[in-house]
Chain A
Amino acid sequence: MNSPFRVIGKSFPRLDARGKVSGKAIYGTDFAMQGMLHGKLVHSTIASGEILSVEIEEALAMPGVYEVVTAADIPAQRYGSFVKDMEVFASKRVNFVGQPVAAVVARTAEEAEAAAKAVRVEYKEQAAVFTTEDAVKADAPLVHPGWQEYKAVPTVKRQGNITNQARLVLGDVDKALKKSDRVFTHRFVTNIVHPGYTEPRAAIAHWADGKQLHVWSNTQLPFEAQATLAEIFKITPSQVRVNVTVIGGGFGGKLRLGVEHYAAAAALKVGRPVKFVSSCEEEMTAALPRQPLVIDLTTGVTKEGKILAKAASILVDTGATSGSGVGVASSVMLMLAGPYKIPNLRLESRSVYTNKTPTGSFRAPAGPQGNFAVESQMDIIADALGIDPLEFRLRNIVREGDLAPNGQKLESVSLEECLLKAADAIGWKDRRPEPGRGKGIACAWWTTTSGSSGVYVKVGPDGQVFLNTGCAEIGTAALTGAAQVLAEALGVELGSIQIVSGDTASTPFDYGAQGSRTAFAVGNACIDAVGKLHQRMKEIAAKQLSAKPEEIEIENGVAKFGDKSLTLKEIAAIAQTSQGGLIAHGTFIAPPTLHDKERTENMVITAINSPSFHAHAVDLSVDAETGEVKIHDYVVVQDVGRAINPTYIEGQIEGGVVQGIGQALSEEIVYENGIVRNPGLTDYKMPTAMDAPNIRSFIVESPSKVGPYGAKGVGEPPVIHPPATIANAIASAVSARIQTLPITAEKIVRTLTEVSETGK
């Protein structure tokens, strides 16, 4: 194929590959400083109760110990994304087992750990609540008795344990359900899963003059870390400098503060740099896993298979703090409606506190949960109506120009193509090739998160180009993608670009590596910078070549006037000696996605920006006796708008699918009375290489109007569909319809036994 692009669309190796494969890259856990001490946390051992006393004398007397830090050492200040319900150390009461109550600072991590065990905390235990269904009851114990005093964004409607009640309403659902030929109601329940990054959360903090806080950490969002730390310590953001180290994976689990605040609190008290690294157990008990949801979904259809109405009641378990769960409660409604054309909707969602681990924004927050419910039910309905599940979807999906549930007009809609290609690749016509073997399909849309991006693009006198961004590289290679956009637009080779990233003091602001936006937004800021650089090049070249700037033409990085020309390198060298170098500040902010505000109530996330469309299909066998699932083939068709680097898109797809298979089949943080029963990687079962199937990726390019060269967000979508796709294939293989995640062998066998016993 003849591509009009030089750099875009090519599978160049990522710019950070060499350091990573040679072991030279310095990760957060590697980072060390002269004179640094180590900190370890003291965790709550109860799920709910008042703190009566914190005895630190014994710990202080232990070898190597410098200080014990508690809530009394830092300003009393609550923080949080939508509701300010978090504190660094529990001050008066604890809300979950594992909540940090104090931190010990010692010469070595081992000494700190030993001393942490010697800190005695006395509690007055109180009633706790562990499920959302219990937590919303009128007489439920309050997870935060003081909730009314917390500050919150004005959009949220709170009551007791409920941190928001949001609705998405369209048409008249009751009337439409009455008119429907069939009405289906099901409950779907999803699991708490951990993002599973390989590197635990790590940070070093140091205070200069007790006023300037400097933090090095493996955060995904240096500017958010800066803002939150400033809020916590009651200083201005510019008094905080955050440097991002190399990051061993984030998947949304490193968006919010991880251990930066503990390091900062400890460093403030001891006056030396302090390092914190989460242990595996802390990761499994006190990190930011995905919210488990209970979704009651009702759908009314005609016998011809047209969806007339959907109603849903959703409970989002955010754990002990609301965190991103308020957002999940909103975005799950966009997932539950779509990607279908439904004239009547009444979706109601509540985010709810329980006395469990606070949850976060794991890759595609709300995506897998919502999709599992909608796409499982689509198959149940199709079967009941005697319509092929693919055909049933094709009768209801959104197409170009349709309105999304929030009333936004959809553009560049490639869903039909994705579905048909996935069906074709998996061999859909033969959906049940043999007993115990079946195929499943599921589709979705997803947003490309907005937020502003700034880059400085600087050209050295040798032609080396520096891409200076406030966005961190979290392992996806998205910044290599942004660099490819820059190389394409500027007319240079990818190899001449060097990335400088993630330093709040020296890099421009970026909303950060989240929400599938990095290559999209940073790439667009690069294009903006190139426009400005070209203008500067024209001005400089005009002077040199005795022309007017508008007479200069720029082609592949060379400024031309008649038969005379100047290269980028030459211009940069001139700029360096004459005007402080060649540099431009490129910026980008996505245009707002217009939608119908009448339809949304109290939603904190209301739109699907530059939506991407995708379909997954799987071919698997189920051993009906052991419940074991064997995946033969897994197909992903994903519309990426424009494939900036096909290899890394495939990387995102394959990684996402495996992560999704974990949520579908094996992963779950299991609680008993608020205590995690599987706080390690022995019993928290992420798929191994042996469990990862053959995954075939097909890329669809239906360009978006906003993204660089038409690109759409890529990173999150692949994790969305596996639970539904696999659930559907299992149901088609052995008629076991499992509506709770994960779909363990045990659940399959139990369901099949029930089916054969009741004859249903």
Chain B
Amino acid sequence: MKLEFLAPQTLQDAVTMAKARGGAARFIAGGTDLIIQARKSGAWPEAVINLQQIPGFGEIKGTGPNFSLGSLVTHRQIEREIRFAGALEALRESACVIGGHQVRNVATVGGNLCNASPAADMVPILLCLNAEVALAGSEGRRVVPLANFIEGPRKTVRASDEVMTEIAFAAPAQKFSSTFLKGGRRRAMEISIVAMAGVVSASPDGKMTDVRLAMGAAGPKAIRLTEAEKFLEGKVLSKDVLEETGMLAAAAASPIDDVRASASFRRHLAGVYARRVVELSWNRISELNDDRSAA
């Protein structure tokens, strides 16, 4: 096997190199998806174009409400980002359960999104945050909502010469909190059998508002749970409300049976995690505000 390894120093070069090779070249960031898939399938690209030496894509920017993640930001960076401690905790919670330490040290958020695995753990929370991804290619630049970017399992709207440069999102305007939970057989090195992220805001009169829930690994791609979100708008947390939320989440799941879990167990977990994510997020709002008043 011969594999050409290219290391462009600028975004423009990266795009040009990709364009010149048509679909035969692949960008590589951490390589933790690309290399493993190539080894498994035996289908190696003719060339890999390393993005790591292009400056400017390795930073987390913003002080809120607007933030952007450079596409080369590692899960380790997100996991340790102090700006996400508190209301945006779900970002850290999602990042810190990806693989193990070695994986998180090199694997990137851009790779996680571009790889578009139904079980990609960064996707649900970024869907909740209405993230938009910026792409730069031979046809120019464009910004695409993440929800439209991922089309299906390992399928995105990205053209083969387009580099994802950053992921931008804004924190909700009202008092809010977030949670991420995932199910699997062990506590690390685990591909989610169901992943659930939630962002819940509180209206001034103490009701839930602007509730956003997204679920991964329970269908061909991660999705927002719009039925449950609509149902929760303006509700006060109660056992019945959570029960209904769980049922709506389970109904929205279209999981598969595989060696990791059965479809019915995944659906069951979808319900459990939806309830827990809403409940936890809601409780976290008051905890966060208590902390603030104490400080």
| Contact B259 A678, beta carbon cutoff 8 Å | yes
Which one, B75-83, B187-195, B201-209, is touching chain A? B187-195
Q: How far is the CA of A626 from the CA of B261 in the complex (A)?
A: 12
B185 at the binding interface (Cβ < 8 Å): yes
Residues in A with CB closer than 8 Å to B260 are: 683
Partner of B186 from A625, A677, A685 at Cβ < 8 Å: A685
Q: How many residues of B contact A (CB 8 A)?
A: 19
Q: How far is the CA of A670 from the CA of B183 in the complex (A)?
A: 20
Q: Across the two chains, which residue of chain A brings its CB closest to B266?
A: A746
A666 at the binding interface (Cβ < 8 Å): yes
| Contact B1 A666, beta carbon cutoff 8 Å | no
Choose among B1, B189, B191 the residue with the greatest number of A CB atoms under 10 Å from its CB.
Answer: B189
| Contact A691 B186, beta carbon cutoff 8 Å | yes
| Contact B100 A688, beta carbon cutoff 8 Å | yes
How distant is B239 from chain A, measured CB to nearest CB, in Å? Answer: 14
Residues in A with CB closer than 8 Å to B191 are: 682-683
Residues in A with CB closer than 8 Å to B273 are: 626
Partner of B183 from A626, A666, A678, A685 at Cβ < 8 Å: A626
Residues in A with CB closer than 8 Å to B261 are: 746
Partner of A677 from B183, B259, B272 at Cβ < 8 Å: B259
| Contact B268 A749, beta carbon cutoff 8 Å | yes
B283 at the binding interface (Cβ < 8 Å): no
| Contact A666 B186, beta carbon cutoff 8 Å | yes
A138 at the binding interface (Cβ < 8 Å): no
| Contact B269 A626, beta carbon cutoff 8 Å | yes
Which residues of chain B from 239 to 287 have any CB-CB distance to chain A below 8 Å in the complex?
A: 259-262, 265, 268-269, 272-273
Q: How far is the CA of A563 from the CA of B136 in the complex (A)?
A: 92
Beyond A677-B259, A746-B261, whether A626 also contacts B272 by CB under 8 A is yes
Residues in B with CB closer than 8 Å to A625 are: 272
How distant is B76 from chain A, measured CB to nearest CB, in Å? Answer: 16
How distant is A626 from chain B, measured CB to nearest CB, in Å? Answer: 6
Q: Across the two chains, which residue of chain A brings its CB closest to B259?
A: A677
Q: How far is the CA of A114 from the CA of B1 in the complex (A)?
A: 9
Q: How far is the CA of A137 from the CA of B156 in the complex (A)?
A: 52
Q: How far is the CA of A670 from the CA of B265 in the complex (A)?
A: 18
How distant is A660 from chain B, measured CB to nearest CB, in Å? Answer: 15
A125 at the binding interface (Cβ < 8 Å): no
Residues in A with CB closer than 8 Å to B262 are: 746
0/1 string, B170-195, CB within 8 A of A gives 1: 00000000000001011111110000
How distant is A432 from chain B, measured CB to nearest CB, in Å? Answer: 23
Q: How far is the CA of A628 from the CA of B269 in the complex (A)?
A: 11
Q: Across the two chains, which residue of chain A brings its CB closest to B187?
A: A690
Beyond A678-B259, A746-B261, whether A688 also contacts B188 by CB under 8 A is yes
Residues in A with CB closer than 8 Å to B187 are: 688, 690-691
Q: How far is the CA of A339 from the CA of B134 in the complex (A)?
A: 67
Beyond A678-B259, A749-B265, whether A110 also contacts B1 by CB under 8 A is yes
| Contact A746 B188, beta carbon cutoff 8 Å | no
| Contact B185 A666, beta carbon cutoff 8 Å | yes
A744 at the binding interface (Cβ < 8 Å): yes
How distant is B142 from chain A, measured CB to nearest CB, in Å? Answer: 34
Which residues of chain A from 479 to 510 have any CB-CB distance to chain B below 8 Å in the complex?
A: none
0/1 string, B1-32, CB within 8 A of A gives 1: 10000000000000000000000000000000
Residues in A with CB closer than 8 Å to B269 are: 626
Residues in B with CB closer than 8 Å to A114 are: 1
Q: How far is the CA of A3 from the CA of B87 in the complex (A)?
A: 59
Q: How far is the CA of A665 from the CA of B188 in the complex (A)?
A: 15
| Contact B259 A670, beta carbon cutoff 8 Å | yes
Q: How far is the CA of A683 from the CA of B268 in the complex (A)?
A: 21
Residues in B with CB closer than 8 Å to A749 are: 265, 268
0/1 string, A614-633, CB within 8 A of B gives 1: 00000000000110100000
How distant is B117 from chain A, measured CB to nearest CB, in Å? Answer: 12
How distant is A326 from chain B, measured CB to nearest CB, in Å? Answer: 30
Residues in B with CB closer than 8 Å to A666 are: 185-186
| Contact B188 A690, beta carbon cutoff 8 Å | yes
Q: How far is the CA of A670 from the CA of B100 in the complex (A)?
A: 24
| Contact A690 B186, beta carbon cutoff 8 Å | yes
Q: How far is the CA of A626 from the CA of B183 in the complex (A)?
A: 8
Partner of B188 from A628, A683, A689, A745 at Cβ < 8 Å: A689
How distant is A736 from chain B, measured CB to nearest CB, in Å? Answer: 14
Q: Across the two chains, which residue of chain B brings its CB closest to A692?
A: B187
How distant is A38 from chain B, measured CB to nearest CB, in Å? Answer: 15
Beyond A626-B183, A666-B185, whether A746 also contacts B265 by CB under 8 A is yes
How distant is B74 from chain A, measured CB to nearest CB, in Å? Answer: 19
Which residues of chain B from 13 to 59 have any CB-CB distance to chain A below 8 Å in the complex?
A: none
Q: Across the two chains, which residue of chain A brings its CB closest to B272?
A: A625
Q: How far is the CA of A746 from the CA of B185 in the complex (A)?
A: 9
Residues in B with CB closer than 8 Å to A451 are: none
| Contact B188 A691, beta carbon cutoff 8 Å | yes
How distant is A639 from chain B, measured CB to nearest CB, in Å? Answer: 32
Residues in B with CB closer than 8 Å to A626 are: 183, 269, 272-273
A461 at the binding interface (Cβ < 8 Å): no
Which residues of chain A from 681 to 736 have any CB-CB distance to chain B below 8 Å in the complex?
A: 682-683, 685, 687-691
Q: Across the two chains, which residue of chain B brings its CB closest to A117?
A: B42
Which residues of chain B from 106 to 123 have any CB-CB distance to chain A below 8 Å in the complex?
A: none
| Contact A683 B259, beta carbon cutoff 8 Å | yes
Residues in B with CB closer than 8 Å to A677 are: 259
Q: Across the two chains, which residue of chain B brings its CB closest to A686?
A: B186
Q: How far is the CA of A683 from the CA of B191 in the complex (A)?
A: 9
Which residues of chain A from 572 to 591 have any CB-CB distance to chain B below 8 Å in the complex?
A: none
Chain B contact residues, CB within 8 Å of chain A: 1, 100, 183, 185-191, 259-262, 265, 268-269, 272-273
Query: Can you list 26 A-B pairs with a CB-CB distance of less than 8 A?
Result: A110-B1, A625-B272, A626-B183, A626-B269, A626-B273, A665-B185, A666-B185, A666-B186, A670-B259, A678-B259, A682-B189, A682-B191, A683-B191, A683-B259, A683-B260, A685-B185, A685-B186, A687-B186, A688-B189, A690-B187, A691-B187, A691-B188, A745-B185, A746-B261, A746-B262, A749-B265
Rank and list the top 7 A-B pairs by shortest CB-CB distance, nearest first: A690-B187, A690-B188, A746-B265, A688-B188, A677-B259, A625-B272, A666-B185
Since A626-B183, A685-B186, A688-B186 are in contact, a sample of 14 more A-B pairs with Cβ atoms closer than 8 Å, ordered by chain A residue number, is A626-B269, A628-B183, A666-B185, A683-B191, A685-B185, A688-B100, A689-B188, A690-B187, A691-B186, A691-B187, A745-B185, A745-B265, A749-B265, A750-B265
